[in-house]
Amino acid sequence: MNHSATVIALAAALWSAAPAFAATPAGTAPVQVAAAAPAASCAPLLQYTFPRLQDEKPQPLCQYSGRVLLVVNTASFCGFTPQYEGLEALYAKYRERGLVVLGFPSNDFAQETGSNKQIADFCENTFGVKFPMFGKSSVKGADANPLFRELATQTGKAPTWNFHKYLIGRDGKVIAHYSSTVRPDDPALLKTLEQQLSTR
């Protein structure tokens, strides 16, 4: 193969491997949907990629395969915003046993008006959040990001306010969901979480 043919082949390969981005509402970070075939060990519910909150670098959810996940839609100016502290405490306590808290900021309830950088600074400086968080997106209705659309489909319940919680088992299946009023240290939530962390 001559030099020109090699360059053309390489360009074609790179183009075919480029990720596809799903359309999102104006003012929100693009939601990247993985274009390549996911690993066989990655559950269908985790076969999405989202921009990281801090730098919008694409983060595949498949990296959390085999973990117990607590997926939460968050906001900075909500009466439930102090739950960030409880979520971070939960993550710190159980992360070594396999828990990952995933935060998805959303302005669906008009309480998350800042940019991704402003949200990231607020979470870190106010609550010391270290669990993974993703760029602002919608979590309900026709504009919901694909993960929350699937969570609503599987549970029959989309978030009706900020800090709705979905618990996902190690097998990538939804175990339970909890309303905004259920705190991260709620005994029923903790009991179910402990059960899931004990499974392999």
Percent share of the chain, pLDDT over 70? 80
Domain total of the chain: 1
pLDDT of residue 5: 44
Nearest CA-CA partner of 112 in 88, 84, 89: 84
Higher pLDDT, 6 or 184: 184
pLDDT of residue 199: 87
Structure tokens at 98: 């396999």
By three-state DSSP, how is residue 186 classified? coil
pLDDT of residue 41: 87
Average pLDDT, the chain: 86
pLDDT at 4 over 90: no
Choose, from 42, 62, 78, 123, the residue flagged as catalytic.
78
Banded pLDDT at 8 (limits 50, 70, 90): very low
| Average pLDDT rounded to a whole number, residues 18-30 | 41
Banded pLDDT at 34 (limits 50, 70, 90): very low
pLDDT at 93 over 70: yes
Q: How far is CA 51 from the centre of its chain?
A: 9
* Max CA distance (Å), the chain: 67
pLDDT of residue 7: 36
Higher pLDDT, 58 or 7: 58
CATH code for position 23: 3.40.30.10
Our answer to whether residue 78 is catalytic in this structure is: yes
User: What domain range includes position 49?
Assistant: 3-197
By three-state DSSP, how is residue 176 classified? strand
